[in-house]
Amino acid sequence: MAEEFVAEPIQPVAGTFDPAGMARGEPGLPQRFIWRDTEYSVASVLEVWKEDGPCHHGSGEKYLRKHWFRILTDQGPRMTLWFERQARSKSRRKARWWLYTIDY
């Protein structure tokens, strides 16, 4: 398999978010999403991890920045997705779910 770097937003399909994750206060991984006009379905979650970072205001505290998910899709490719807890910019505030890499 060849891993390809992508770093593009994905469009979660409404109503497919994992309620168990949301009940724990985490983002609910969408079970279906659209990337480049193709809909993908999550077959299984292979790995989950979190990324933290320093406070942007200099307090020295660490904040949870991203939730990462390594998944296998029903369509075949393995993908690494991330959820950004804070939007990168006001113009892209709805882009919270991203595709990081894809393995064909």
Task: Choose between 62 and 23: higher pLDDT.
Answer: 23
Return the pLDDT at 40: 98
Please tell me the predicted confidence (pLDDT) of residue 100.
Answer: 97
Is the model more confident about 21 or about 72? Answer: 72
Q: 30 is in which domain, residue-wise?
A: 3-103
Report the pLDDT value the prediction gives residue 89, as an integer from 0 to 100: 56
For residues 60 and 24, the model is more confident at 24
Residue 94: pLDDT band by 50, 70, 90 thresholds? Answer: low
3-state SS track over the chain? CCEEEEEEECEECCCCECHHHHHCCCCCCECEEEECCEEEEEEEEEEEEEEEEECCCCCCCEEEEEEEEEEEECCCCEEEEEEECCCCCHHHCCCCEEEEEEEC
Question: What's the structural domain count of the chain?
Answer: 1
Q: What is the pTM of this model?
A: 0.85
pLDDT at 25: 82
What would the pLDDT profile of 47-70 be if each residue is shown by its tens digit?
999 988 777 677 777 777 899 999
